[in-house]
Structure 1
Amino acid sequence: MAKEQLQVLNALDVAKTQWYHFTAIIIAGMGFFTDAYDLFCIAMVTKLLGRIYYHVEGAEKPGTLPPNVSAAVNGVALCGTLAGQRFFGWLGDKMGRKRVYGMTLMLMVICSIASGLSYGHTPKTVMSTLCFFRFWLGFGIGGDYPLSATIMSEYANKKTRGAFIAAVFAMQGFGILAGGIFAIICSAAFNANFDAPTYKMPETARYTALVAKNARQAASDMSKVLQVEIEAEPQRAEPTANAFAMFSKEFMHRHGLHLLGTTSTWFLLDIAFYSQNLFQKDIFSAIGWIPPAETMNAIEEVYRIARAQTLIALCSTVPGYWFTVAFIDRIGRFAIQLMGFFFMTVFMFALAIPYDHWTHKDNRIGFVVIYALTFFFANFGPNATTFVVPAEIFPARFRSTCHGISAASGKLGAIVGAFGFLYLAQNKDKNKTDAGYPPGIGVKNSLLVLGVVNFLGILFTFLVPESNGRSLEEMSGENEEESETGTVELEQSSYNNRTVPVV
């Protein structure tokens, strides 16, 4: 039998949409805007770095980054992100969401500026400095994932929680778009001519009441946020059967499959998503949508790549995020994730199987349209839901940690995609590979591999429960009463509501 919920938490669950909800979206979302800008703008910068620092006098083609340098510049931030997600996710459950979120933002600001000011007397020292600061930039970005998701999930009401968390994540699309637009403006200008929001949010009520065990402070904080009077209640003792530890036998029984579902789907999604995002320029060059590098100067090449990536972001990436915001609380997380992986699989195979057909000049637009649809269904699909669900289905004292583990699994997939695709997509003929690269399996076979990865995402989605329309305490089982035998009754709890049977 479920016990009565704390009044302060019930007030949050049934609260009407108010200005503080949008304030929370903006505060948490600006971190994601910055994340996306910092992570994905490097794809446009690498071409310029190669021309500036690795140009060989008398060579027929412009300079390009050596394979090891390119892999390091593209992947080092992802390595930092993976570490940051694990560390700050754990720290957020120990010190509170607000304080640790502030730390991650400061780290991001400092390292973003430092990355732009990378220096050295030789190309090697410049790249080393850049990689050093991008690692710590990624470390800060990693902390933003679990903390922004947890903050938003714990502030949101039950009815529109999915849309609010998805709206925070959708700021990533604007970050990608801003990176492209800024690159277009700067490159066009060079080619032709030679008050931030204040951070005022109390600690989330669920952390204060359920983890810090201070229901009185939680009621006081939320009275100010919701602008209603919430009576402070005495702190209730937590049932002993609910006091299990992380990775204990009880945790694995209740949430083990859930954690496997969130980590595996995020891992598989990011292999495909980051491969496509970081190496759009190479795919567009391979089908001839962007002219050969030797036919353009450095600034013109950056301009053309930025224009292509901005077009994709504007027409497919950004709309996909906001379709999720609009429909996630209507059709649910599970349906959106399953649909997204399904269409990503279909479109990836549609690009890969008749690949030679798409390389002909008359068919390039068709390739770009289908390629853009894979981004649309990634964002109106698993790229959003893998961020939302881990913030909803785990107990408050583990929520940030479990989200961090899930997000770190995703970044591990991103590293696999970023480093793997860099080499796999090279031409099979060693005479046609980029300078310094060994022969790969070609773009066609690389797209086939990504199609298989997306199909595996469909299968692992069945491990993820549906959280639509239910409170965080219902999903995590934190509202369950302890019976006379000392066990917690599992009536209608999330861990008995899996989407696949447990043997």
Structure 2
Amino acid sequence: MARNQLGVLNALDVAKTQYYHFTAIVIAGMGFFTDAYDLFSISLVTKLLGRIYYFDPKSAKPGAMPINVASAVNGVALCGTLAGQLFFGWLGDKLGRKRVYGLTLLLMVFCSIASGLSFSSNSNAVMTTLCFFRFWLGFGIGGDYPLSATIMSEYANKKTRGAFIAAVFAMQGFGILVGGIVALIVSSVFEHYFPTQNYQLDRKGSTPSQADYVWRIILMFGALPAAMTFYWRMKMPETARYTALVAKNAKQAATDMSKVLNVDLEAENEKVERFVLERSNNFGLFTRQFARRHGLHLLGTATTWFCLDIAYYSSNLFQKDIFSSVGWIPSAASMTAIQEVYHIAKAQTLIALCGTVPGYWFTVALIDHIGRFAIQLMGFFFMTVFMFGLAIPYNYWKQHHTGFVFMYAMTFFFANFGPNATTFVVPAEIFPARLRSTCHGISAASGKAGAIIGSFGFLYASQSKLKSQRDAGYPPGIGLPHTLMLLGVINFIGMLFTLLVPESKGKSLEELTGENEDDASQTQQSQEMSAARTAPE
């Protein structure tokens, strides 16, 4: 234990895994379940929106969104998420984690419902309203990233902290999976009760008027898990590390954690006062001291998350286009609109089951054994390999769908058993308590900047140079094979920047940040962290 460690913090570090740990995982994790459902469910219904609102009566083909509208609908929530991560990350350090934790959830519930209530007969009005509410939905989702990660890291013991934080994030995989399942159920129900032969076909040909309810139900379902969690979030006490180290209220920290841990803890007011008076590490974010001690760490966490999300979100949001291009999903002209939703949902569900969900839980199981650094480096490496493996023999995969789906699923497996989990975990561990939420928010926002590039750029870059697509209004891009190759290069860059990220396995948060050390010890600790990698214990 570090010299002068507060008893309440040491009690948290050495606490055995118990009921409150699992409660915290579920409460924080349900937010991420909702986050993933809301962010990725839009990819299930964008083609349906195109068929409903952008049908051209002069064309015999199903309607399709203009590329700028498709980009906006897919990417606007990510813009809101970026803003929310920065704002709520900062607010979590200023006002406390708990005080703003419920606000993000309320915003998610309200905007999920409002997204499905974008009623109008005018396509521009519907899309504008939908984008407006999805921006604010993303704003609430953004706040959940730094707050959930910071709360879980500050509640956890040092032995299994990585697994607990990763378990919170792993709920994202279930959100993606349930999104696909909900779309399967809703589309199946509508197909059963309103079979194709009984459709009152309108001017949109294969798109029945009832299809307008399908996308609304799918989007609005995201409000349910968030609403179910709100009460329990409000009952959680503020974390002891914020109360003691930031708010300087040792008595309240001891009282809160005594109830949580079921032990008697001493308030240690004098030790907290001595901590405030004697420690010189109360530097701010925009100071030389922070740049010297944590500047490279922040650059590493932000850049790796940025690279990861370019590849991850472009692959996830537009997997329907990738599957269509290799012929795994039938052409739109051969299906009704609801059948198309069903096929897209089936593909997403299969990928989630085979690659996305298992990858998250491999990280949960192994992160405290082999370390964050090794998992992140390995994940980026295999993502690079599989992206090149998809891109180079692309024409071969068009004739061998099973092999393509396997390779594609492996990119998601190693994203989640890799940087998609570790980029979330590490920023919640290596920065001081008073800046932890802010720095996590900055790192996460960098990731969402990458996601925005991925979501907007992928649509343009992946378009082939075929005349038929140019005639349909799509600008010529570099084509899907070259786009996949470019994503492989970006993953390789992420692997290089991983070298800036320290290993945090098995250490208390105060050991990592030097918050319980004197100046000389802090300097030594910072140097050790910069050099730390994956040496065995």
Q: Give the whole-Å Cα distance in 1 for the aligned partners of 2:297 and 2:162.
A: 17
Which of 425, 444, 450 in structure 1 is aligned with 2:462?
425
Structure 1 residue 196 displacement after superposition: 2.6
Correspondence for 2:504 among 459, 467, 482: 467
- Secondary structure of the residue aligned to 1:383 is helix
User: Take 1:399 and 1:452, find their aligned partners in 2: how far apart are those partners?
Assistant: 31
**Alpha carbons 1:428, 1:439 under 8 Å: kept:** yes
Match of 1:489 in 2: 521
Q: Which deviations, in whole Å up to 9, do the C-alpha atoms of 1:94-149 show, x marking residues without a partner?
A: 00001111110111111111111112231000100000000000000000000000
Q: What is residue 374 of structure 1 aligned with on the other side?
A: 411
Name the amino acid aligned to 1:215: A
In structure 2, which of residues 362, 373, 377 is the aligned counterpart of residue 334 of structure 1?
373
The answer to whether 1:224 aligns with 2:259 is: yes
Instruction: Give 2:164's aligned residue.
Output: 164
Q: What are the ranges of 5 or more consecutive residues in structure 2 without an aligned counterpart?
A: 195-226
Cα distance between partner residues in 2 of 1:465 and 1:226? 30
In the alignment, which residue of structure 2 is the partner of 1:241?
280
Q: Aligned with 1:440: secondary structure?
A: coil
Q: Aligned partners of 1:410, 1:434: CA distance in 2, in Å?
A: 35
Distance 1:349 1:500, change over 3 A: farther
Counterparts of residues 329-478 of structure 1 (less than 5 Å): 329-360=368-399, 363-433=400-470, 435-478=472-515
Alignment correspondent of 2:155: 155
CA contact (8 A) 1:2 1:491 kept: no
Query: Structure 1, residues 18-48: CA drift from partner, whole Å, max 9, x if none?
Result: 1000110011001000000000000011111
CA contact (8 A) 1:255 1:495 kept: no
CA distance in 2, matches of 1:250, 1:383: 29
Residue matched to 2:204: none
Aligned to 1:191: 191
Q: Pick from 316, 327, 333: which aligns with 2:355?
A: 316
CA distance in 2, matches of 1:231, 1:500: 34
CA distance in 1, matches of 2:452, 2:507: 34
Moved more, 261-270 or 48-57: 48-57
- Partners of 1:143 and 1:461 lie apart in 2 by 25
CA contact 1:463–1:499 (8 Å) conserved in 2: no
State whether residues 267 and 413 of structure 1, in contact with CA within 8 Å, keep that contact through their aligned partners in structure 2.
yes
Q: Shift in Å at residue 60 of structure 1?
A: 2.4
Alignment match, 2:68:
68
**Paired letter, 1:262:** T
* Paired letter, 1:108: M
Aligned to 1:36: 36
CA shift, 1:2, in A, is 4.9
User: 1:105 maps to which residue?
Assistant: 105
Partners in 2 of 1:113 and 1:191 — Cα distance?
24
Equivalent residue number for residue 203 of structure 1: 238
Q: Distance in 1 between matches of 2:32 and 2:2?
A: 36
Q: Name the stretch that deviates more: 491-500 or 344-353.
A: 491-500
The one-letter amino acid of 1:211's match is V
Deviations 1:413-445 (A, max 9, x none): 000000000110001223235832101111100
- 1:463–1:500 CA contact under 8 A, matched in 2: no
Which residue pairs with 2:214 in the alignment?
none
| Whole-angstrom distance in 1 between the partners of 2:382 and 2:521 | 40
Tell me how far 1:242 sits from its aligned partner. 0.8
Code of the residue aligned with 1:49 in structure 2: it is L
Corresponding letter in the other structure for 1:369: F
Correspondence for 2:218: none
Separation (CA, whole Å) in 2 of partners of 1:8 and 1:499: 30
Q: Give the residue type in structure 2 aligned to 1:123.
A: S
Q: SS at 2:530's partner residue?
A: coil
Question: What amino acid does structure 1 have at the position aligned with 2:346?
Answer: R
Preserved contact between residue 82 and residue 139 of structure 1 (Cα < 8 Å): yes
Q: What do the CA deviations read for 1:49-97 (whole angstroms, capped 9, x no partner)?
A: 0011111124221001111111110000000000000000000000000
| Letter in structure 1 aligned against 2:261 | L
After superposition, the Cα gap between the structure-2 partners of 1:434 and 1:271, relative to the gap in structure 1 and judged at 3 Å, is: farther
Q: Aligned to 1:462, what secondary structure does the other structure show?
A: helix
Matches of 1:217 and 1:303, distance apart in 2 = 52
What residue is the counterpart of 1:484 in the other structure?
A: none
Q: What is the TM-score when the length of structure 1 is the normalising length?
A: 0.96
Q: Distance in 2 between matches of 1:423 and 1:49?
A: 19
Offset at residue 491 of structure 1 (A): 6.4
Partner of 1:10: 10
Is 2:90–2:441's contact at 8 Å kept on the other side of the alignment? yes
With normalisation by structure 2, the TM-score equals: 0.90
Contact 1:183 1:303 in 2 (8 A): yes
Which AA in structure 1 matches 2:285? Answer: M
Out of 284, 291, 308, the residue aligned to residue 323 of structure 2 is 284
Paired letter, 1:89 = G
Distance 2:305 2:187 in 1: 35
Change (3 A) 1:128 1:2: same
Letter in 1 for 2:431: F
Match of 1:489, SS? helix
May I ask how many residue pairs the two structures share in their alignment?
A: 494
- Check 1:495–1:258 CA distance in 2 against 1; reply closer, same or farther (3 A cut): farther
Check conservation: 1:321, 1:380, Cα contact below 8 A: yes
8 Å contact from structure 1 (residues 393, 494) kept in 2: no
Task: Please give the alpha-carbon distance, in whole angstroms, between the structure 1 residues aligned to 2:63 and 2:113.
Answer: 26
- Provide the residue aligned with 1:480 in structure 2: 517
Aligned-pair Cα RMSD in Å = 1.4
Partner of 1:51: 51
Counterparts of 2:489 and 2:527, CA distance in 1: 29
Structure 1: stretches of 5+ with no match in the other structure = 482-486
Moved more, 427-436 or 321-330: 427-436
1:264 is paired with a residue whose SS is helix
- The answer to whether the 8 A contact 1:477-1:495 is kept is no
Q: Deviations over 1:267-322 (max 9, x none)?
A: 00000000100010000000000111111110000000000110000111000000
Q: Is the partner of 1:146 in helix, strand or coil?
A: helix
Q: Find the residue that maps to 2:35 and give its secondary structure.
A: helix
Residues of 1 paired with 2:357 and 2:526: CA distance?
Answer: 32
